[in-house]
Structure 1
Amino acid sequence: MPRAFDRRTLLKCIAAVAASTAFGCSDDDDELPILEDRAFYPQSVASGEPRAESVVLWTRVVDPGSPDADVDVTVQVALDDRFSQRVLELTGVTVTSAHDHVLKVKVTGLAPRTRYFYRFLYEKNGRLVASPIGRTRTAPEAGADVPVRFVVANCQNYNRRFYNSWQRLLQLDEDLDFVVFLGDYVYETTPEAAPPGVRQVSFSEPAGALRLSTSGGTVLAAASLSNYRDLYRTYRTDPFLQRAHERYPFIVVWDDHEFSDDSWGAHANYTDGRQEELQVERRRNAEQAFFEYLPVDPDEAPEGVVDLDATPRYPDTRVWRALDFGTTLRLIVTDYRTQRPDHLVPEDAWPATVAVDAAALATLGLTAAFAADTFAYVDIDAPEYAEAKTLLRGAYVGLAVTAGLARTEAEARADAAVRGPQALAYVNPVLVQTGRAPIDPVGKPRGLGFVHLGKTALFSRLGSRYVTVKDTYDVYAAWRDLSTGGGAQNVLGPQQRDFVLETAGGAQAWKVLVSSVSPTSMVWDLRNKPDVTPESVRNRYYFDVDQWDGVPQEKARLLAELRGRTSDRLVVVSGDIHASFASVEQGVPALTAPAISSASVGEEAAEQVAAAGFPPSSAVYRYVVTEQAATLREGNPGIVFVDTNAHGFTVVEVRADEVRAAYHLIPGTEAGTDYGQRPDDLAARFTRHDFTVRPGVISSA
């Protein structure tokens, strides 16, 4: 068993160091020669969770001559990089293959706001093989009124992309308290095959992965524990990511790709509803690798070697937490994925299904707003619509079989979907295509079908997670919120939500809410664009309702409650969307950091719009892709700054009276260029944009 810390010995060492800088804390002077060798520490070192008196240290130790063997190491922490002022030496720590040779150690009893150096030593052939030297910094003490500086980063796809953003941060040598990483530290998919020499993750056990067919070819999605470990092992071989970890402590939370794209709980979304995708074991594998490879401490473990077997995993996971930095900042880290319910519009929703009927509209006081014929619906089970129902059912079965379902399953799903209230906006075009007369809408009840929300196809994310009609979606969301007592939109879950609100109080000058997904509303307003055709497309659209736009009532409630508890000294930092935003959302300043390397939202919007049937020559494409930034500003007047095509990071400095933010950006087209040996060229490609945040306001600095 690894040896735990002896607190009395640790305190004695600290006191001795204070008295004499020449004092070393080991029992004996070092007699063996020390040689740094990264081959024994292929993922280098890292630190995280900086608190006033503690920090978590991490490494992975593998003996190249005996790669499967357990090894014993020594952990050293010092006030200087020569380790003459040691404050800790922990010997005989066993690193096992059971957890892929990773080691996490929580060091306590440290001094506040102090820089420490650390390393790991492994005795081999009469010498001590040392890890790279890491440096870390503890948080200010509770009463300290000092500025706090940190970087916000997220979304670092590795495949065929280079970490120019990390290289630039290292060039700047920013004096930081920590890096907050908002999620998508790894991406769970990788192409099944690639040419030799291409920068790409390869699974050592590909049979354990899921095989997914995409327009770009077959990809493998991590599923086994081995697969997820391969992701972290490979990502952490990047030299610039390694050096960022060596230089700064990280505070990390996950988003979706640490498990599965657009996930909720243990549910994946690869098949858009064609298959059931509850994957509990896969989720637990993903979490285990996350906890093994990142220096996180969500449960505030006791001092000493962190017991990785004791870390709770799904469904008992807790990664939400709060960290204090003097009187200036309380960082509230949230988990958007683990407890959230499904997206409000199912990917397999039948477009004709009425989601908000006449009674619901009346309850919401919106009967008059939806009186037009386009919102008419009928009970398709009524005898007079028997023929129409048969045709609709046939249409459903045909679409489902084309999507890959077996006929028996398609027919069963058709029986469940083609029943009860059906929206004529979808029913009548189907009837016309079969040569039948449409159903007269006169005198029929009014309501909203999924088709009115932009859901025009079965088994599609369009109209479900992406590109939904804003005004009708908001009504549907309001009805789901009302009819479920808020449950349909409570993406944080009851326990975490209570924690966030309770933690938002306190004496710190500023509360910074860490959200993996952006609260900035991304709206395409095409209502007054006469060149947009057909006319039915002239609506307002949410681009992405996987993020906070998807839960508008809960977003409004939560931000309002947080504003009250923080006296408006609240900022949200977020990522996920692969774009840069500085905006004010319902009175709350929001800073959305760009992706480190993942495809920009400009690229992704182009794919979604093309998939919806609008080519580059169309007005729709021009507004939502070519002129995307201007369209987003028009759709959300709260946006102060937007860049949808750049990679980079955001440096945030929190002071007692204000928050400053600097966006460091490089064009997303540079992601495929390796600037590792061209630092001057890299520096010239970056631009900087500065902003000042005061309660409820963002302005250019």
Structure 2
Amino acid sequence: MDRRQFIKLGSFITASVATGAGLTACGGSSTGPTATASGAWKFPQSVASGDPHSDSIILWTRAVPATADDVAVLTGVADSSIRVILTAADNSAAMGSNKALSGQLVADATVPLQSQFDNTVRHKVTGLTPNTLYYYQFIAGDTRSNVGRFKTAPAAEADVAQLQFAYMTCQDWSINHWGAMSSIAAENLDFIVHLGDYIYETVGDDFQLGGVESRHDKLKLPDGAYKNGSSGAQYANTLADYRYLYKKYRTDARLQALHERFAFIAIWDDHEFSDDAWQDAQTYDGSFNQADGSDLHQTSRRRSASQAWFEFMPADVVLDTAAAGFQNIKIYRDFQFGKLMQLVMTDQRLYRADHVIPESAINPATGKPLGRLGARYLVQQDVFNTVEAQKMGGATAIGLEPLATVSMLGTTQRQWWMDKMKSASSTWKLWGNEVSLLRMGLNGTDAVATLLALNSVATLAGSISGTVTATGGNFPLAAAIVAAATAGATPALAQQGAGAIMAAYAVTGSSNEARVAAGMKAGLTAAQAGIAVATYTAVYLAGSGVVAATPAALVGAGAQTIAFGYIKPDVQANKAASVFVQAAGKQAALAPFFTRFLLNCDQWDGYNSERKALMAHLKSNSVSNVVALTGDIHAFFAGSVSDDYDAAGGGTPVMADLVTAGISSDSFFVYLRDAATSLGDIAALVTYPLAVPVTGLGTLNLSFNLLDYTMGKAAPTVASLLEQTRVQIRGALGAKGLPEAQLDATTSAVLAGLQANSDFSTSLLALAQQLAGLGNNPWLKHLNTDAQGYTLVTLTPGKLVAQFKQVNKLVGSSAPATVVARVTTATVNAGSAAVSIS
């Protein structure tokens, strides 16, 4: 094809073929075509490139008259055309500017501007050279766009020593800041993977009401539907709404800089259409069509969302606007980067079945739809397993494949994924995966038992302190008396049995068995004698060290032993029937929590049978070196994906999953913290209130993140607790108005003072250690649920190294000058599904 020609592909993709023939760049005389647009124009969303193959690229821009509003609905502008030029000459000095490209052109094409597509342009250039850096520019009338660049992929059979790329997700305009984008722009990258939530369809929702950088003004949807009633939060409901969001997001110079510098490989997640969406159904609470028990389906809205994504994302896909229904676009696709990597990108929204337990399912306790809790979040695992099995059986009964009604990928895409993985010849198979494959479960029984035990420590300590006086200052004896009484002994028997235990303890060489026998001989039951001996021993040992223990330490040793040696096991064994649950008056409130939960069934935990089928495919076909690159959950996670998490020992690791935090969206911890406020004592599984006085600034009221430990983070030390809260304290100081130049030094001083705070170094430490001891999700090797940031990947034949880059929080109303707060490295070695953390 002649370079001056183009053909229409799908709706409005144009294409041209690059040539090696030298053309004069636009700064001098040119034999290239003249653009029909005339006068002054502008490129308010700059330029972008996407889907780099070894021989092709998609180039994108949006051009409007200089007098037009940057983001408003475009009216009164006639269709015309503009020019796009491409060169392999080094134009790095022109990046960030609209300076004319220099060097010989390898492509020069005229491309149409059509108002029906909001004057966006998608142009595919083929015939390019593999593994080559190109520069491009659009020209409209008298105006040049900023210079863009991209790098083509290596040839399929090329030996590639290294690839480096970043992956990112969840960039909510309305909360926090986009400083991470500046950091990404400074990285040395081959391309960028975007895993979705490029825009957020809602404006003014509850999760968008926190602090935001001042350079992001309030969004105003052209049409916008109210989520509830006639005021408050709105959601995008028309093509104009969705277009507005892309246009507004893309006016940020930092996002423009990323698109100008690197080709994107992008998929969508849910917020490009609707939160936790499936197919064309929205799942907002209160939106259920209770007449037929289903979620509200919005085909027109889904089609509008897909069209806007197609218009504004430089992806090599086709939208069929003439096709009926909402599945008129296919975005799952794959990319080959030499012999080193095959990248498979999937669509986990357009074909997925309804959540296994629908939000519209009626809660028998209230007679109302479940909504999020119980359907997508905090789902009882045994209920989920039962319903999933029923749905699979029902599908089989009507002649469908078993996974048809419980699938995230859908039948066609699932087979495509399996085929791609099985046939891949590259060393690494990476999967652009929207939602996490890692099991994120919670043993509610153990968690409640731990919390009740912790809550009893203060009361037990008071009882021991009071009893010490009656025993003449004998701490071990007093603690043993309280232990026996806690286990149900009468006051008289408790004193008698504890005295017998003390006497047995005084016998040189006596064993624990002999001490328990002495207690039983004095009238205690075996359980009462056992906890009394354990408590006596703990306090005795605490007081026999080289350094004399304080009375508080002795009392604490006794209280902790009783709480976790007797109360916790009793609650674990008897659940809501435990005398300690009944004594707390919380039997009704806690009864629903004595079971196992899946924390997030919008993820792969909610499509467990299909996940097992995919992992079985990898395992049976010996497909190795598979790593998922994941977003969505606004947290950093790393771990191995098993063939069956419910099997003994958690199953066999098959692949790895590396989850990146959101660019700006509020963290998973913040969402859970806010939701947990209605759960009473259960909130302690998520957060711990911490008041930190700071001279001259008042008190920092922090919410310490305990969710990490509940989910499986290793037991902390005081030092690791301090480091964990560093970013939050820095952010809280910045919110108080402290200049950034003083933030790091002041943060360190506050942390030093916090170390001396007994509430922090004793109470909080004990709670975090006990929650870590629950042993939930041992396959999670790293988790940071309260973070924003991105991930940088360096890939070689021998290993994949992922650097999780957490960013600092807002400083007043601005993004921090020091963007990256900490870096955690996850490594996956070739031939292994294990993840190591440093």
Q: CA deviation at 1:521?
A: 1.6
Aligned ranges 1:420-499 → 2 under 5 Å? 458-484=369-395, 485-499=402-416
Structure 2 counterpart of 1:500? 417
Cα 1:16–1:596, aligned 2, differ >3 Å: closer, same or farther? same
Q: CA deviation at 1:577?
A: 0.5
| Deviations, residues 573-622 of structure 1 (Å, cap 9, x unaligned) | 11101010111010211001110110100001112222445575x56755
Aligned partner of 1:517: which letter? V
Q: Quick check: 1:636 aligned with 2:648?
A: no
Structure 1 counterpart of 2:833? 696
Q: Quick check: 1:266 aligned with 2:333?
A: no
Structure 2 counterpart of 1:75? 84
Q: Quick check: 1:90 aligned with 2:76?
A: no
Structure 2 counterpart of 1:518? 436
Cα 1:27–1:314, aligned 2, differ >3 Å: closer, same or farther? farther
Structure 2 counterpart of 1:610? 677
Cα 1:243–1:526, aligned 2, differ >3 Å: closer, same or farther? same
Q: Is the 8 A contact 2:685 2:707 kept in 1?
A: no
Q: Is the 8 A contact 1:581 1:642 kept in 2?
A: yes
Cα 1:584–1:661, aligned 2, differ >3 Å: closer, same or farther? same
Q: Is the 8 A contact 2:355 2:375 kept in 1?
A: yes
Where structure 2 has 5 or more consecutive residues not aligned to the other structure, the ranges are: 8-14, 69-73, 92-99, 290-294, 396-401, 453-585, 643-652, 690-702, 713-774
Q: Quick check: 1:626 aligned with 2:638?
A: no
Q: Is the 8 A contact 1:579 1:642 kept in 2?
A: yes
Structure 2 counterpart of 1:408? none
Structure 1 counterpart of 2:119? 101
Q: Quick check: 1:345 aligned with 2:357?
A: yes
Q: If the length of structure 1 is used for normalisation, what is the TM-score?
A: 0.74
Q: Structure 1 CA distance, aligned partners of 2:623 and 2:429?
A: 10
Q: Is the 8 A contact 1:25 1:88 kept in 2?
A: no
Q: CA deviation at 1:4?
A: 2.8
Partner residue of 2:795 out of 649, 654, 657: 654
Aligned residues, how many?
Answer: 567
Partner residue of 2:199 out of 180, 186, 192: 186
SS class of match (1:486): helix
Structure 2 counterpart of 1:539? 595
Q: Is the 8 A contact 2:4 2:32 kept in 1?
A: no
Structure 1 counterpart of 2:473? none
Q: Quick check: 1:202 aligned with 2:216?
A: no
| Deviations, residues 657-696 of structure 1 (Å, cap 9, x unaligned) | 22111111125x4397423xx63x334x343434334321
SS class of match (1:218): coil
Q: Structure 1 CA distance, aligned partners of 2:63 and 2:116?
A: 13
- Percent identity of paired positions between Structure 1 and Structure 2: 29
Q: Structure 1 CA distance, aligned partners of 2:323 and 2:158?
A: 32
Q: CA deviation at 1:273?
A: 5.4
Q: CA deviation at 1:25?
A: 12
Aligned ranges 1:210-229 → 2 under 5 Å? 210-213=225-228, 218-229=232-243
Q: Structure 1 CA distance, aligned partners of 2:164 and 2:685?
A: 43
Q: CA deviation at 1:350?
A: 2.3
Q: Structure 2 CA distance, aligned partners of 1:31 and 1:341?
A: 49
Q: Is the 8 A contact 1:327 1:507 kept in 2?
A: yes
**Greater C-alpha radius of gyration:** 2
Q: CA deviation at 1:16?
A: 4.2
Q: Is the 8 A contact 1:10 1:88 kept in 2?
A: no
Q: Structure 2 CA distance, aligned partners of 1:279 and 1:473?
A: 26
Q: Structure 1 CA distance, aligned partners of 2:381 and 2:18?
A: 63
Q: Is the 8 A contact 2:826 2:835 kept in 1?
A: no
Q: Structure 1 CA distance, aligned partners of 2:705 and 2:17?
A: 61
Cα 1:345–1:232, aligned 2, differ >3 Å: closer, same or farther? same
SS class of match (2:184): helix
Where structure 1 has 5 or more consecutive residues not aligned to the other structure, the ranges are: 300-306, 353-391, 401-457
SS class of match (2:801): strand
Structure 2 counterpart of 1:60? 62
Structure 1 counterpart of 2:605? 549
Q: Is the 8 A contact 1:161 1:672 kept in 2?
A: no
Structure 2 counterpart of 1:372? none
| Deviations, residues 355-382 of structure 1 (Å, cap 9, x unaligned) | xxxxxxxxxxxxxxxxxxxxxxxxxxxx
Aligned ranges 1:282-321 → 2 under 5 Å? 282-299=301-318, 314-321=326-333
Q: Structure 2 CA distance, aligned partners of 1:311 and 1:76?
A: 33
Q: Is the 8 A contact 1:272 1:461 kept in 2?
A: no
Q: CA deviation at 1:10?
A: 7.7
Q: Is the 8 A contact 1:54 1:109 kept in 2?
A: yes
Q: CA deviation at 1:149?
A: 1.8
Aligned partner of 2:429: which letter? K
Q: Is the 8 A contact 1:511 1:569 kept in 2?
A: yes
Structure 1 counterpart of 2:720? none
Partner residue of 2:337 out of 325, 332, 340: 325
Q: CA deviation at 1:256?
A: 0.6
Cα 1:290–1:23, aligned 2, differ >3 Å: closer, same or farther? closer
Q: CA deviation at 1:568?
A: 1.8
Q: Is the 8 A contact 1:142 1:327 kept in 2?
A: yes
Q: Structure 2 CA distance, aligned partners of 1:175 and 1:190?
A: 34
Cα 1:198–1:113, aligned 2, differ >3 Å: closer, same or farther? closer
Cα 1:155–1:608, aligned 2, differ >3 Å: closer, same or farther? same
SS class of match (1:243): helix
Q: CA deviation at 1:238?
A: 0.9
Aligned partner of 2:245: which letter? L
Q: Structure 1 CA distance, aligned partners of 2:343 and 2:218?
A: 33
Q: CA deviation at 1:312?
A: 9.1
| Deviations, residues 245-285 of structure 1 (Å, cap 9, x unaligned) | 11110011011100001111000011345335110000001
Cα 1:161–1:528, aligned 2, differ >3 Å: closer, same or farther? closer
Q: Is the 8 A contact 2:183 2:819 kept in 1?
A: yes
Aligned partner of 1:643: which letter? N
Cα 1:612–1:214, aligned 2, differ >3 Å: closer, same or farther? farther
Q: CA deviation at 1:507?
A: 1.0
Q: Is the 8 A contact 1:511 1:566 kept in 2?
A: no
Aligned partner of 1:155: which letter? C
Q: Structure 2 CA distance, aligned partners of 1:326 and 1:312?
A: 38
Aligned partner of 1:543: which letter? L
Q: Structure 2 CA distance, aligned partners of 1:589 and 1:204?
A: 40
Q: CA deviation at 1:477?
A: 2.4
Aligned partner of 1:255: which letter? D
Q: CA deviation at 1:566?
A: 5.5
